[in-house]
């Protein structure tokens, strides 16, 4: 089914949503400070060659060194201290560094000019162009003219219409996407018929619990279990892709007594993830309803990009100050646009105010240019997140 790519830029943050039939199919959130993902380029410095791993450790400027397998090198292993452009093949995970490849194009290697190793190279429109080329997209709508032109130049998508969003209402709000994006950070997901999922990312695996909820099943408990489980399958496949969940995933379905019912459910899930751009492997279903599956990690999951660990032992997640800073700026721009606001401002929690003046300063400047007025940022320890000032 043809889709539309919606691209919204705010200073150092770019959000891209792939939409089909008004439903969100894929979401990319790109930030300079976001965890690396597959396709990101680095100018790395070779640290040492490990014979046991048959690869070289390379300094990417990240917390952990990356691994450059020998098969991903061009020629013999480079000497220690060599600077070379590499591309992320597998995103870093908890306790593991990124896996990278030195097989990059001449155009990609040229992006390292002017940088000193180790350095993360600007992504530009490359991730968006990759998404555009891999999906059946008939139209692109963006609210940033320069990014739109760059995407049109790099994508090479014949027959695709590129349009600039110039209306006052924010682009994601116009398309009804803000609420859908916010829902992806919530554990509960409603399914057809009144059932629901609970999605809980952990440190070693992601748990998905299938609940009957208010599902009005007929034919007894076994029939109810079949109906609820099969209603959950398409939503599970959709949430895996939207949230970019990866690694080991354990789904707790309602228990099914008959072996043929368990086989049919596992087969239905395999079919549902066939269209996923990331390889998925679905294993069998136990009599108690537990199913294990894996999904390749090409980029950090959405909750790792937008959130940080919180709670006892880091068992929960909360939005980062940077995420709240961007959220506050979008809210301010939407509220102030088209109104006679002489002194727009934000009262924010100290960490959020620091993010607005630091890492998200480019986003703040972009909103000030859009509003035609300076935005006053006030740190207030009595504010939990942020408050708009429309004086």
Phi, psi (5° rounding) for residue 147?
-65, -40
pLDDT(100) > 70: yes
The answer to whether residues 96 and 246 touch, using CB atoms and an 8 Å cutoff, is no
pLDDT (0 to 100) of residue 377:
96
Q: Which CATH class is domain 320-390?
A: alpha beta
Handedness of CA 62, 65, 71, 76 (dihedral sign): positive
Of the segments 59-63, 199-203, 341-345, 378-382, which one has the largest average pLDDT value? 378-382
Domain parsing of the chain, residue ranges: 3-34+131-174, 41-120, 184-295, 320-390
* pLDDT 10s digits, 379-391: 999 999 999 999 7
Please tell me the predicted confidence (pLDDT) of residue 248: 96
Contacts of residue 18, Cβ cutoff 8 Å, sequence gap at least 6: 3, 4, 5, 6, 24, 25, 26, 27, 131, 135, 137
Q: Which residues contact 146 (CB under 8 A, 6 or more apart)?
A: none
Q: Is the pLDDT of residue 157 over 70?
A: no
Residue 265 contacts residue 229 (beta carbons within 8 Å): yes
DSSP letter for each residue of 81-119: T-EEEEEEEE--BTTB--EEES---HHHHHTTTT--SSE
Topology of the domain covering 41-120: OB fold (Dihydrolipoamide Acetyltransferase, E2P) (2.40.50)
- How many Cβ atoms sit within 10 Å of the Cβ of residue 138? 12
Report pTM: 0.83
Q: What CATH number does domain 3-34+131-174 carry, 3.30.420.40, 3.30.43.10, 1.10.150.120, 3.40.50.700? A: 3.30.420.40
């Amino acid at each position: 089914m043809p889709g539309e790519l919606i691209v919204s830029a705010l200073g150092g943050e770019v959000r891209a949503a792939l939409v089909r039939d008004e439903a969100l199919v894929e979401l990319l959130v790109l930030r300079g400070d976001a965890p690396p993902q597959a396709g990101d380029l680095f100018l790395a410095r070779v640290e040492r060659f490990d014979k046991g791993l048959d690869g070289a450790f390379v300094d990417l400027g990240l917390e952990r060194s990356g691994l450059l397998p020998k098969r991903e090198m061009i020629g013999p292993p480079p000497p220690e201290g060599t600077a070379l452009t590499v591309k992320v093949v597998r995103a870093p995970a908890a306790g593991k560094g990124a896996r990278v490849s030195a097989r990059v194009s001449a155009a990609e290697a040229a992006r390292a000019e002017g940088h000193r190793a180790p350095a993360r190279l600007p992504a530009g429109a490359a991730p968006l162009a990759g998404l555009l080329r891999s999906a059946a997209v008939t139209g692109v709508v963006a609210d940033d003219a320069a990014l739109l032109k760059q995407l049109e130049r790099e994508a090479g998508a014949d027959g695709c219409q590129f349009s600039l969003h110039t209306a006052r209402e924010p682009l994601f709000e116009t398309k009804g996407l803000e609420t859908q994006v916010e829902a992806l950070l919530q554990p509960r997901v409603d399914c057809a018929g009144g059932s629901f999922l609970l999605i809980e990312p952990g440190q070693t695996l992601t748990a998905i619990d299938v609940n009957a909820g208010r599902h009005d099943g007929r034919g007894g408990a076994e029939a109810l279990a079949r109906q609820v489980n099969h209603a959950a399958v398409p939503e599970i496949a959709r949430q895996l892709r939207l949230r970019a969940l990866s690694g080991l995933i354990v789904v707790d379905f309602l228990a099914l007594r008959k072996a043929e019912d368990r086989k049919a459910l596992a087969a239905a899930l395999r079919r549902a993830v066939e269209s996923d751009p990331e390889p998925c492997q679905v294993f069998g279903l136990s009599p108690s309803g537990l199913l294990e599956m894996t999904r390749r990690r090409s980029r950090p999951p959405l909750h790792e990009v937008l959130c940080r660990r919180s709670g006892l032992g880091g068992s929960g997640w909360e939005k980062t100050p940077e995420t709240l800073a961007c959220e506050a700026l979008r809210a301010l721009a939407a509220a102030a646009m088209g109104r006679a606001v002489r002194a727009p401002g934000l009262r924010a929690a100290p960490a959020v105010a620091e993010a607005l003046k630091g890492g998200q300063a480019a986003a703040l400047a972009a909103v000030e240019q859009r509003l035609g007025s300076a935005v006053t940022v006030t740190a207030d320890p009595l504010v939990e997140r942020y408050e708009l000032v429309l004086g």
